[in-house]
Chain A
Amino acid sequence: MTAASPRFRMTTRTRVSSWATIGAAILTAGLAALPAVASRGLIQDLFFIFTMLCLAQYWNLLAGYAGLVSVGQQAFVGLGAYTLFAATILAGIEPLTAALLSGVVAAAMAVPTAFVVFRLRGAYFAIGTWVAAEVYRLVLAQVKELGGGTGTSLTMSVVSSTAGLDWVSMAFGVRTPAARDIVVYWAALALLVITLAGIYWLLRSRFGLALSSLRDSELTASSIGVDAFRLKVFVYILTAAGGGAAGALIFLQSARISPDSAFAVLDWTAYVIFIVVIGGIGTIEGPIVGAVVFYFLQTYLAAFGTWYLMLLGALGIVIMLIAPKGIWGSIADRFDLHLFPTRRRLVVTSTRRTGDDRQRARQSGPPSGQMRR
């Protein structure tokens, strides 16, 4: 009746985030069109960044939100990669279809894995996942059809059966190897967009609220009806599916697999943890920053071999001890900047004075105290 009682609306959107979403859409379109002008080297580099960023986002979801610190995500990268090789070499399935299958198989294998490793808590869970990854590595090293311990390569006929190759080589006037790079580049870009959009949507949904409450206090979350166990298992299976698909694309691109490379703890877990920690754990933006930083370190310093790895280890330790929120976390704290905000805010929507809605929204916008992120 009177305007004295203001009405509220809950939102996660801010003006910055709306612009960020538009910017992300434009960037995606630009990246999709890039193969028309970019060199083969740039396409390969971006492919590397995309796949590592996907893995980093999954690990961030696991460790940063669900509190599941895993050092065994290489299990699902490897299972996905081996599914791709088995499906294409042994069953003659088209490689991109096989990559989808890899995600499904990795998710399916995550169920029995979770059944075992979820008996361990906290830090012991971490080592348990590592043991599980070792078991998969050792079992696949026994499969003679896929090259046993030395591994195998994709044959030319398998590689050239990839969907869209002829079209790409005609449209861009490139030879088959370059066309293959472009096709897997698009597949990785698609996976990345699905991953980022999916995680963003997920964290803004009811599910995301439950997950955030779990992160802040598992006990309190459980007491108000959040089923912590189910939620964690769900996140574990989801990230396994994503890791499997990413692994399939990575090894489709390299066309060569061995148990040691597919289940490498350094490549698919240590690097990924480094990306998340240096960028900023618990945010969507953090791993993006981390992946870019990691790419430049890898490009310019990887030639230093052991010294490079020691530097990465030391950087991870220093960040964790001095700025545990990482690069993005420090920026976000300082400037209250959130490109992909998942924190819920109350916004006043007055029924009468529509003119200064926006101003009011801004006044009540900043952090509402108890609700974190």
Chain B
Amino acid sequence: MQWVDTIIQGILLGGLYALYATGLSLMFGIMKLVNLAHGDLIVLAAFVIVVLASLLPPGSGVVLALLLSLPIMFGVGYGLQVGFLNRTLDRDILPPLIVTFGFSIIIQNGLLEVFSADSRRLPLTGWESASLSVASGISIGTVPLVCFASAVVVIAGLNFLIYRTAIGRAFRATSDDPETAQLMGIDHRRLFAIAAGIAMMVCAVAALYLGLRANFDPTIGPARLLYAFEAVIVGGLGSLWGTLIGGMIIGVAQTVGAQINPEWQILTGHLAFLVILVVRPRGLFPKSEG
């Protein structure tokens, strides 16, 4: 029973990792940009939610704070893309990596300067602390469950956006062949900025559950980047549902490792990723070329 519980917790944790990964996957899929500041942007979003929650009247809940943070994070992504990342869109991989690595350091230390290194948590207002008892020895927390459901909803929503709407068609066209897409009248720079904005909104959703599930502080961004990256690679590039499966695999590997020895949690997650990388270099559900 204990192991069943461990695996269920791992699958639910995978929902969180899929949320981390979706923004990263989106930005790579559309503009071939790997954002090394991704984890730090998630942490930034968590702090935005903390600040908004503290400004709202008590009891109005963190979900309202999340909703208010969405346009802010969209603006952050849009501005980042227009102001900096659009200037690095070359065939050379170095400029985007260096620029986003620079932002990673700036965001991390900026947050340390403003909020100190104290670890924080989002305020719980009731439903967040509840849990369901499924069977004897197995109880599922509301937050992990809602988090997983959110991941499914976000991915389904993004798939709808990408495959069923006009802007999604423009995304896919630009991803396939930027030059031809421009000939068809697509302003790829604006499109990239919108994509970055959407990716940051997904980061805000991820940040809500990051802050509800555990403590966080300004330095934990890079580790979130690594989990997100692992979920993307394990799932296979270009497939958002694959990313969800990838997140679940990393999540289960971590909870199983933690069950054996609490100090092994992160390590077993990384090892599972490396094993899959060796066995299936293109991930489990590859769609596009790496």
Is residue B267 contacting chain A, with contact meaning CB distance below 8 A? yes
Q: Whole-angstrom distance from the CB of A314 to the nearest CB of chain B? A: 6
| With contact pairs A124-B34, A131-B273, A306-B109 given, residues A320 and B226 touching in the complex (Cβ less than 8 Å) | no
A199, B106: Cα distance in complex, Å? 33
From residue 170 to 192 of chain B, which have CB atoms closer than 8 A to chain A?
Answer: none
From residue 255 to 277 of chain B, which have CB atoms closer than 8 A to chain A?
Answer: 263, 266-267, 270-271, 273-274, 277
Contact among A138, A277, A309 for B270, CB-based, below 8 A: A138
Closest B residue to A127 by CB, please name it: B229
- Complex contacts, A79 vs chain B, CB 8 Å: none
- Complex contacts, A316 vs chain B, CB 8 Å: 98-99, 101-102
Contact B226 A130 (CB under 8 A): yes
Q: Whole-angstrom distance from the CB of B23 to the nearest CB of chain A? A: 14
Query: Of B61-69, B89-97, B145-153, B207-215, which stretch is located at the interface?
Result: B89-97
Is residue A262 contacting chain B, with contact meaning CB distance below 8 A? no
Is residue A329 contacting chain B, with contact meaning CB distance below 8 A? no
| With contact pairs A124-B34, A313-B105 given, residues A63 and B267 touching in the complex (Cβ less than 8 Å) | no
| With contact pairs A126-B34, A321-B88 given, residues A131 and B274 touching in the complex (Cβ less than 8 Å) | yes
A127, B232: Cα distance in complex, Å? 12
Is residue A139 contacting chain B, with contact meaning CB distance below 8 A? yes
A268, B27: Cα distance in complex, Å? 28
Is residue A183 contacting chain B, with contact meaning CB distance below 8 A? no
Is residue A252 contacting chain B, with contact meaning CB distance below 8 A? no
- Complex contacts, B28 vs chain A, CB 8 Å: 123
Is residue A96 contacting chain B, with contact meaning CB distance below 8 A? no
- Complex contacts, A63 vs chain B, CB 8 Å: 94
Closest A residue to B289 by CB, please name it: A121
Chain A interface secondary structure, helix, strand, loop or mixed? Answer: helix
Contact A273 B98 (CB under 8 A): yes
A135, B113: Cα distance in complex, Å? 29
Contact A313 B106 (CB under 8 A): yes
Contact among A139, A141, A270 for B105, CB-based, below 8 A: A270
Q: Whole-angstrom distance from the CB of A233 to the nearest CB of chain B? A: 16
A122, B95: Cα distance in complex, Å? 12
Is residue B206 contacting chain A, with contact meaning CB distance below 8 A? no
A134, B104: Cα distance in complex, Å? 17
- Complex contacts, A197 vs chain B, CB 8 Å: none
- Complex contacts, A106 vs chain B, CB 8 Å: none
Is residue A147 contacting chain B, with contact meaning CB distance below 8 A? no
Contact B290 A314 (CB under 8 A): no
Contact B105 A127 (CB under 8 A): no
Q: Whole-angstrom distance from the CB of A168 to the nearest CB of chain B? A: 39
Is residue A119 contacting chain B, with contact meaning CB distance below 8 A? yes
Is residue A128 contacting chain B, with contact meaning CB distance below 8 A? yes
| With contact pairs A124-B233, A316-B101 given, residues A306 and B112 touching in the complex (Cβ less than 8 Å) | yes
28 inter-chain pairs at a CB distance below 8 angstroms, sorted by A residue, are A67-B93, A116-B274, A116-B277, A120-B281, A120-B290, A122-B93, A124-B229, A126-B36, A127-B226, A130-B222, A130-B226, A131-B230, A132-B274, A134-B226, A135-B270, A135-B274, A141-B263, A273-B101, A306-B109, A306-B110, A306-B112, A309-B108, A310-B105, A314-B106, A316-B102, A320-B99, A321-B84, A321-B95
Q: Which residues of B approach A to under 8 Å, CB–CB?
A: 28, 33-34, 36, 84, 87-88, 93-99, 101-106, 108-110, 112-113, 222, 225-226, 229-230, 233, 263, 266-267, 270-271, 273-274, 277-278, 281, 290
Known: A71-B97, A115-B278, A124-B229. 18 other contacts (CB 8 A): A123-B33, A123-B93, A124-B233, A127-B34, A127-B229, A130-B226, A134-B226, A135-B271, A138-B267, A265-B222, A305-B109, A313-B103, A313-B104, A316-B102, A317-B99, A317-B103, A320-B95, A320-B99
